[in-house]
Structures are given as C-alpha cells and as structure tokens.
Amino acid sequence: MFHMYLPIAGNSINVFLILGLGGLVGLLSGIFGVGGGFLMTPLLIMFGIPPTVAAASDSNQIVGASTSGTLAHYRLGNVDIKMGILLLIGGIIGGDIGVHIIKVLRALGNADFLINLTYVIMLGFVGTYMFIESLQSLKKSKEQGEEELKETSATPKESFYVKLMNSLPFQTHFEKSGVTMSALMPLILGIFVGILAAIMGVGGGFIMVPVMVYLLRMPMHVVVGTSLFQILFTCINVTIMQAYSNHTVDFVLALCLLLGSTIGAQFGTRISKRLKGDQLKIILATIVLLVMFKMLYSLLAKPSLMLSYAGGH
C-alpha cells in the first residue's frame, strides 16, 4: 500500500516514509543551515536505496529545500549574498582540487580509510569545540560572572588569527554579517571547505557553518541563511554533474523527499528564529557529535557482511 517505484534506484519505497524523512531533514536544514546530506544519505541506504543513487538524489532534493530555506531566510534579512558568493567561488575551486586529491589517494590505496578517519577527526574536533564554546557562552549569558570571562578558550590563537586577518589585502565590509575583513578570507576558507567536502563526499554544510561562526565571525542567524544560499548552488552543480555523468539522480525519489523537506525547511526557519544563537550551536554540535560517534562505531564494530555492492554498476 502507498508504495512508489523509484526507477533509477530500482526499488520501491513507502511514500509516507520518504515524506517523513524529507520533513525531518528539511526541518534540520531550516534550523541549522546544513544540507542534511550527512543524515539523509545513510537513512536512504538503510531503506534499500543504492548509496550512489541516495547521495545524488539527495543533492537534488537539497536544491529544493535550500531554495525554500534561502527564500525564508532572505525575507528575514539573514542572507549575506556578497559573503555567500565568495564562499561559493572558493567552494567550487576547492571541490575541483578535492576531486584530484581523491584520485591521488585512490592511486596510493586505502583512500576510503583515510577519508573516513578524516571525517571522524573533523567531526569530533568541530563538534567538541562548538559544544564547549556554546556551553560556556550560554553559562556566561546566564550568570554574567566576570570570572568566567577569563576562561575563554583559544584566546591566544584568536589574537594571532585576528592579526593575520587584518594584514590581508582587499579589506571589505560585509554589511549583513556586520564584519570587515579581507575578501580573500571567505575565498580561502571556501576552498578549504570545498576540498574537505569533495574528499568526504558531502555538501560540507556542517563544516561551513562552524567556519562561518568561528573563522569569519558572522552572527549565527546570518550564518544559517548564507550557508543555505551557498549550499543551494553547490547542490545544483552536483545534481547536474551526477545526472549527466553517472545517471544516479532518481527524480521520483528526490521529488517525494522534496515535498517533505520544503515544508520541513519552512518550519525549521521559524524554529531557528525563536532559538538563541548559542542554543542553535549547542544542538548542532550535539548532532555533529552523534554523527561522529555513529561513524566511529561503524569503523570499530565488525560488519555483519564482509561484502557490499560497489557503486555505479
């Protein structure tokens, strides 16, 4: 009952299940400005969709969800287009570099192992840092104790970083974010995230968000809107490329996920507006850490089968 056949995935799936999955991931996307691919792809694989089709169709779905999310955030004045475009250009350059790095890694052998280990370390580092930082600032805003101000972590690093930022050319004022810095900063960081995203095979939203918050010093709400704006264009590129060269985009699957996720993204944006920046960060940090533990578990636990289908066949 209520099953739908997915011609590219080559399997059928319950319509309500896809709508529900789309809704859940769209909600997260709207709240945190992440594409949700890191959550959606493994869930789809769990329900019998081949990994390559799951990842490609999900990026098609993210195009819809992030259009809806970007629109909602744009109306709220949360999208820094200038910053977004610079990050995007960097992301595209970084993505190309990342693809070449993967080729070299594969030639050296054991690429998957290195990729997964990088994933776990990155997620662990980003998640822990965000969690501790937002917990501290939540405490500070509650107690407003003067003593705790001294305990701010990573202060020496930040001062060096500020010096570096100020010494770079092309200083630009980003009005929506309320920051002034070199235009090279978002470009370079975009390249960095692009490389990591390409190596890990993810959209990079949950690396981009912490980068915007901590390295570009953007306010959390503008981060969410701008991240969605950037993700929208990244996923347009990925969808067309995957459809053209690998035939892995299942439009039927993407459309069903889309219906759920665009609605979810709208609710997410409203929830995001009601939460404080630190609350948002702490929830996102928890999700990032959960994903990290799940990945670590899959690396450490003996798989039930020693064989799995290789993609693209």
Partner 1 sequence: MKLKYLYIILIGCFIIASKNVLAFTHSPETILIGTQYNGAKLHISGDILKDKDVIVEIKGTEKDAHFKQKGKVWGIFWMTVGHLTFKHAPSVYMLYLPSNLSGVVSKLGLGYKNVLSKIEIEPPPDTKYQILADFLKLKEKEGLYHINKNGIRYIQKGNEKKFRCEISIPPKMPPGKYEIVVYNLNNKHQIENIEKDSFEVKLTGFPKFISDMAFNHSLIYGILAVIIAILAGFVMGFIFKDKGGAH
Site of interaction with partner 1 (CB under 8 A)? 2-5, 7-8, 10-12, 48, 60-61, 63-72, 75-76, 110, 112-113, 116-117, 236, 239-245, 247, 249-252, 254-255, 258-259, 262-263, 265-266, 269-270, 298-303, 305-310, 313
Judge contact between 45 and 253, C-beta under 8 A: no
Helix or strand holding residue 294 (H, E): helix 277-300
Report the phi/psi class of residue 90: left, alpha or beta, with left for phi > 0 and alpha for psi in -120 to 50. alpha
Shortest distance, position 170 Cβ to partner 1, whole Å: 32
3-state secondary structure of 3: strand
Q: CB-side exposure of 253: number of CA atoms within 13 Å?
A: 29
Q: Which residues contact 275 (CB under 8 A, 6 or more apart)?
A: 31, 283
Judge contact between 65 and 261, C-beta under 8 A: yes
Query: Of 84, 105, 86, 97, nearest to 195 (Cα)?
Result: 97
Q: Which lies closer to partner 1 via its Cβ, residue 1 or residue 104?
A: 1
Shortest distance, position 179 Cβ to partner 1, whole Å: 24
Shortest distance, position 72 Cβ to partner 1, whole Å: 6
Q: Which lies closer to partner 1 via its Cβ, residue 215 or residue 236?
A: 236
Q: Which lies closer to partner 1 via its Cβ, residue 108 or residue 306?
A: 306
Shortest distance, position 205 Cβ to partner 1, whole Å: 16
Q: Which lies closer to partner 1 via its Cβ, residue 10 or residue 145?
A: 10
Q: Which lies closer to partner 1 via its Cβ, residue 185 or residue 258?
A: 258
Shortest distance, position 220 Cβ to partner 1, whole Å: 18
